[in-house]
Structure 1
Amino acid sequence: MKILDKYLLKTFLITFTTVFVILFFIFILQTIWLFIAELAGKDLDVTLIVKFLLFSMPRIVPLVLPLSVLLSSIMTFGNLAENYEFAAMKSSGISLQRAMRGLTIFIVFLSVIAFFFANNVIPYAEYKFINFRKNIAQLKPAMAITEGQFSDVGFYNIKVNKKSGENGNKLTGITIHKKSVSGDGGKTVIKAKNGELISSEQSSILQLVLNNGNYYEDITPKKFNDRKKYPFAKSSFKKYTINIDLSQLNNVDVDEEKVTNSNTMLTVSELNYTLDSLKKNYKTEIASYSENINQRTIIQNKTFDNNSNVTLTKPKKKLPSDILSLYDNRKKVEILTTAGSNLSSIGYSIDGSRFNLEAKQKSINNHLLALYDKFVIAYACLMMFFIGAPLGAIIRKGGLGLPIIFAVLIFITFHFINTFGKRFAQENGMTPFMGSWMSSMILTPLAILLTYRATNDIGLINMDIVLAPVQKLFQKIIANKKTTT
């Protein structure tokens, strides 16, 4: 490796490492803010918090890595151009392509590492992260309930005045509101003097044992006028046990597909295998439903002829246009009623199957997006380098001023288009391939354009193209005024 390549690689690595660490720290803070409800006030020790952060770190890399490559490229080549080092290279016969050769090899190597990281490390971390969030209440039951406020735990809202014990599983002053299945508000209230949380790592059930309390239930009679006769039912108990399904505890708002689906926990080979099964299942269900709906819509010749007082005579040539005229009024009503009922039933069946098939198609799209994302992150690193390096050479500014502005604008555009494409592809608005690669397809021409302009020493914007027509227009106006005067 020549001295120039070593110098450029060393300069780039120092800038890249610094930028990556700063950005990674910023995104970690964002992760903490997103999951603050799961961390704050839950009596978690340092070990659990560190595990939580370690499992969530790998998912940040696809965001931080391309941005770090972009910003460090702009800063590195901007500093070289600003300090006239590029001018010295060109005077020695070294072109921009030659200066970028060593760094290009490094970025290709970094892209390969990014692919293997996305294919192996991120799926494993997602698996650990999802299961950790799902089972964290089993590891520390007190986390499920916060002292002094109502906590949403499965089908219950639970409030305790005080927690005690080694793991905070001893509860005092318990008030429980049971949610209504029909969604018309809670009609059951349970109050107890004290209780205990009992859980096991081998079970997904959390037991809440209540002692010395009362059970209140609002009874809703069938008739509205009878409500005053049955205000509520009350019963007392010495011991009462509530079983809570912990698998429903951590159903939070972030990335719902990632929490409920397994696509982010799979490697490329596993995704291909799963996609093959999903597509076969999807096609089989379409064929099965098509055959079923076809059989349901076949008109049987003897449907209305059994036990009928009307005897049909086969027409010699053709049936009349109004087939109902062959029946009497009673049979007409029966036929129309049955037909209407069949149409309604078929309509409900079609709607239900449509929702089911849409859900299956959405699952296929999510798996395809997860598959393409592993390749997009690798290509994004290479693309961002060929945007940032020529841009830095053109603007001739290093440091943290103008480069940050350009980097943020470009990355926000990339991230917005990428997010929009994925959301649109999930709803089957476009193919998952287009949804994943749309941002790269849009920004790749920018990378080619900037590389071409930087190579040929052309500025970022050729103002002569814009100003020349305006200048000619003003010259004509001035000339016309002089001739008229």
Structure 2
Amino acid sequence: MKILDKYLLKTFLITFATVFVILFFIFILQTIWLFIAELAGKDLDIGLIIKFLLFSMPRIIPLVLPLSILLASIMTFGNLAENYEFAAMKSSGISLQRAMRSLTLFIVVLSIVAFFFANNVIPFAEYKFINFRKNIAQLKPAMAITEGQFSDVGFYNIKVNKKSGENGNKLDGITIHKKAVNSDGSKTVIKAKNGELISSEQSSILQLVLNNGNYYEDITPKNYNDRKKFPFAKSSFKKYTINIDLSQLNNTDVDEEKVTNSNNMLTVNELNYTIDSLNNNYKTEIDSYSENINLRTIIENKTFNEVADKELIKKRKPLPSDILSLFDKNKKSEILKTASNNLSSIGYSIDGSSTNLKAKQKNINGHLLALYDKFVIAYACFMMFFIGAPLGAIIRKGGLGLPIIFAVLIFITFHFINTFGKRFAQENGITPFLGAWMSSIVLTPLAILLTYRATNDIGLINMDVILAPIQKLIQKITANKKKIADNGHR
């Protein structure tokens, strides 16, 4: 490797490492902010919090890596151009492509590493992250309950005055509101002097054992007048056990979509297998429903068939266009009523099946987007380098001023188009392939254009095209004024 390649690679790597660490730290702070409700006031020790953040870190890489490459490229090549190092290279016969050769090779390797990271590390981290959150609730069940306020835990709202014990599983002053199935509000209230939370790593059931309390339940009489008396039932207990499904604790997730969907926890091979199974299931359901709805639309009225057969045998001619003319008024009314009911039933069935099929298609789209995302991140690294490096050479500014403005604007555009495309594809507005690759398709021409302009020493914007007509207009106006003034003096 020549001295120039070593120099450029060293300069870029130092800048890239610095930018990556700073951006990664910023995005980690964002993650803490997103999950602050799960971390704050839950009696978690520092070890569990660090482990929690470690499992959430890999999902940040697809955002940080392309932005770091973009910003580092602009800063590196901007510094070279600003300090006239590019001018010295060109005077020695070294073109921009030659200067970028070693860095291009490094970016290609980095893109391949990014793909394998997205395909292997991120799915594993997602799996560990989700299961770790569930295990926290099993190991420290008291984290789901905060002192002095009602905490939403499954089908119950629980408030305790004080928690004690090694894991905060000893509770004092317990008030529980059981959620109503309908929207009439809570009908059941349980109060107890103290209690204990019991859990096991082998079980997903959390037991809340209450001691010395009362059970209140509102009763809704059938007679409307009796409801004004607000009757209720009251019973006391020395010991009462409530079983809570720990899976309900994840329902308060601020990133629910990622927790409930398993597509982010699958590799490329697993996604291909899952997508194939989902597509086969989708097609089978469509075929099955088509056959079923076809059978339901066939008229199976015994009286109608008998009369029709008799008419055909008797007159030996095809049925008339108005088939109902074969029946009397009562039969006509019966047939029309049956047909109307069948149509209504089929309409409801179609609506229900349509909703079900849309949900299945949405699930397929989600898996396809997860598959394409693994390739998009690799290509995004490569594309961002060929946007940033030529742009830095053109604007000729290094440091943290103008490069940051350009990098943020480009990355926001990339991220916005990417998010919009995936959301639109998720709702089946466009194909998942186009939705996942939309941002890359839009920005690739920009990378080609910037590389071309930087190679040929053309500025970012050719100001002569804009200024030349304005200058001509100003000159023409000035000449006319001068001519008018000369005529006035005469």
Q: TM-score range by the shorter chain?
A: over 0.9
1:347 shift after superposition: 1.2
Q: TM-score, normalised by structure 2?
A: 0.95
Alpha-carbon offset, residue 386 of structure 1: 0.4
* Structure 1 residue matching 2:221: 3-state secondary structure: coil
C-alpha RMSD over aligned residues: 1.7
Q: What CA distance in whole angstroms lies between the structure 2 residues aligned with 1:42 and 1:303?
A: 72
Instruction: Return the offset for 1:312.
Output: 5.4
The yes-or-no answer on 1:192 pairing with 2:165 is no
SS in 1 for 2:44: coil
Q: Per-residue CA shift, 1:67-121, capped at 9, x if unaligned?
A: 0000000001111111111111111111111110000000000001000000000
Single out whichever of 292-301 and 246-255 deviates more from structure 2: 246-255
| Residues 198 and 207, structure 1, Cα contact 8 Å, conserved in 2 | yes
CA offset at residue 35 of structure 1? 0.4
Q: Secondary structure at the match of 2:94?
A: coil
Quote the Cα distance in structure 2 between the aligned partners of 1:263 and 1:153.
Answer: 27
1:101 maps to what in 2? Answer: 101
Report the counterpart of residue 159 of structure 2 in structure 1. Answer: 159
Aligned to 1:377: 377
CA distance in 1, matches of 2:34, 2:25: 14
Deviates more, 1:246-255 or 1:284-293: 246-255
2:423 corresponds in structure 1 to: 423
CA contact (8 A) 1:251 1:259 kept: no
- Deviations 1:35-55 (Å, cap 9, x if unpaired)? 001000000111111110000
* Contact 1:154/1:244, CA 8 A, preserved across alignment: yes
**Residue 362 of structure 1: aligned partner:** 362
Question: How far apart are residue 317 of structure 1 and its match?
Answer: 3.8
Name the TM-score, length of structure 1 as normaliser. 0.96
State the shift of 1:3 in Å. 0.5
1:74 aligns with 2:74: yes
Deviations 1:138-192 (A, max 9, x none): 0111111111111000011000000111111111100111111123321111111
Q: Quick one: distance in 1 between partners of 2:97 and 2:60?
A: 32
The 1:311/1:394 distance shift into structure 2, 3 A limit, reads closer
What is aligned with 1:246?
Answer: 246
Amino acid at match of 1:187: K
Alpha-carbon distance in 2 for matches of 1:14, 1:160: 53
Question: Within 1, Cα distance between the matches of 2:60 and 2:411?
Answer: 15
Give the letter aligned to residue 60 of structure 2. I
Query: What is the CA-CA distance between 1:375 and the residue it aligns to?
Result: 0.5
**Cα separation, partners in 2 of 1:29 and 1:327, compared to 1, 3 Å:** same
Give runs of aligned pairs for residues 29-44 of structure 1, distance below 5 A: 29-44=29-44
- State the one-letter code of the partner of 1:364: I
Shift of 1:301: 5.3
Count of aligned pairs between the two proteins: 483
Cα offsets for 1:307-366 (capped at 9, x unmatched):
x9x995335544334333322332223222222221121111111111111111111111
Distance in 2 between the 1:212 and 1:341 partners?
A: 58
Amino acid at match of 1:84: Y
Give 1:303 shift. 5.4
3-state SS of 2:345 partner: helix
Provide the rounded CA distance (Å) in 2 between the counterparts of 1:160 and 1:144. 11
In the other structure, the counterpart of 1:259 is 259
Distance 1:59 1:303, change over 3 A: farther
Q: Residues 311 and 119 (structure 1 numbering): CA distance in 2 closer, same or farther, change over 3 Å? A: closer
Q: Secondary structure at the match of 2:172?
A: strand
Query: Structure 2: how far apart are the matches of 1:186 and 1:328?
Result: 58
Partner in structure 1 of residue 400 of structure 2: 400
Give a deviation string over 1:233-291, Cα, whole Å, max 9, x none.
21111111111111111123544332111110111111111111111111111101101
State the 1:230 CA deviation. 4.6
Query: Per-residue CA shift, 1:410-434, capped at 9, x if unaligned?
Result: 0000000000000001000101100
Residue type of the alignment partner of 1:247? S
Aligned partners of 1:311, 1:109: CA distance in 2, in Å?
A: 78
Shift of 1:483: 5.2
Instruction: Tell me, in whole angstroms, the C-alpha distance in 2 between the residues paired with 1:242 and 1:304.
Output: 60
1:460 paired with 2:460, answer yes
SS at match of 1:237: strand
| Residue number in structure 2 paired with 1:287 | 287
The residue aligned with 1:176 is: 176
Which stretch of the first structure deviates more once superposed, 126-135 or 229-238?
229-238
Query: What is the letter of the counterpart of residue 428 of structure 1?
Result: N
Q: Deviations over 1:185-208 (max 9, x none)?
A: 211111111111011111111011
Deviates more, 1:69-78 or 1:233-242: 233-242
**2:336 — aligned with what?**
336
Structure 2 gaps, min length 5: none
Take 1:252 and 1:373, find their aligned partners in 2: how far apart are those partners?
Answer: 27
Q: Which moved more, 1:58-67 or 1:321-330?
A: 321-330
- SS of 2:430's equivalent in the other structure is coil
In the alignment, structure 1 residue 320 sits paired with structure 2 residue 320: yes
Task: Tell me how far apart the structure 2 counterparts of residues 325 and 410 of structure 1 sit (CA, whole Å).
Answer: 72
User: Hey, what's the Cα distance between the residues in 1 that align with 2:85 and 2:379?
Assistant: 29
Q: Kindly provide the amino acid, as one letter, of the partner of residue 65 in structure 1.
A: L
Is it true that 1:444 corresponds to 2:444 in the alignment?
A: yes
Query: One-letter code of the match for 1:401?
Result: G
Looking at structure 2, the residues matched to 352 and 130 of structure 1 have their Cα atoms a distance apart, in angstroms, of 32
- The percentage of aligned residue pairs carrying the same residue is 86
CA distance in 2, matches of 1:219, 1:333: 47
Q: Which residue of 1 aligns with 2:215?
A: 215
Read off the aligned partner of 2:431 and give its amino acid letter.
Answer: T
Code of the residue aligned with 2:298 in structure 1: it is I
- Determine the C-alpha separation between the residues in 2 that align with 1:455 and 1:349: 63
